[in-house]
Amino acid sequence: MATLRLDVVTAEREVFSDEVDSVVAPGVEGELGILPRHAPLITMLQPGVMRLRKGGEETLMAVSGGFLQVFNDRVLVLADTAERAEEIEESRAEAARQRALAALQNAPPAEAEAARAALRRSLVRLQVARRRARRVGS
């Protein structure tokens, strides 16, 4: 079966680098599914869950924006932040959500968008952590 080379990097580190069967990413226009032999593409990412499939196994990753490029069966994600599900502690993600909610409630109008962005990031991290916990608990 044909595969894709997926590299997910942030300014700090390489988060993922391997061959995969498919990628589903949170594009700014909606979810974007990528299979081998996909047409060349460059798009922006929004905060969301990235799903990778390899050999029947699905891996979840939280990304908080950035860019995605597809070219010659290679997918390159340059993410603002990216974390694999196993790197996210649900309790810390919940605490970040609570802080973001408090910041949003107290934010002056000029800082409200930054507070909403922090809330979106924390909700994505929490979603990934909870989905992984359900799978591990099953």
Residue 124 has a pLDDT of 92
Helix (H) or strand (E) holding 6: strand 4-9
Q: Give residue for tokens 């970040």.
A: 96
pLDDT of residue 62: 95
pLDDT, residue 38, reads 95
H helix runs in 35-111, sequence order: 90-106
Give pLDDT, residue 138: 56
As given in the structure block, the two tokens for residue 12 are 């700090």
Amino acid at 61: M
Distance CA 55, CA 61 (A): 17
- Rounded Cα distance, 122 and 61, in Å: 13
**CA-to-CA distance for 21 and 43, rounded, in angstroms?**
20
pLDDT at 108: 87
Residues in the chain with pLDDT values less than 70: 137-138
Instruction: Calculate the alpha carbon distances from 125 to 46, 90, 128 in Å.
Output: 13, 8, 5
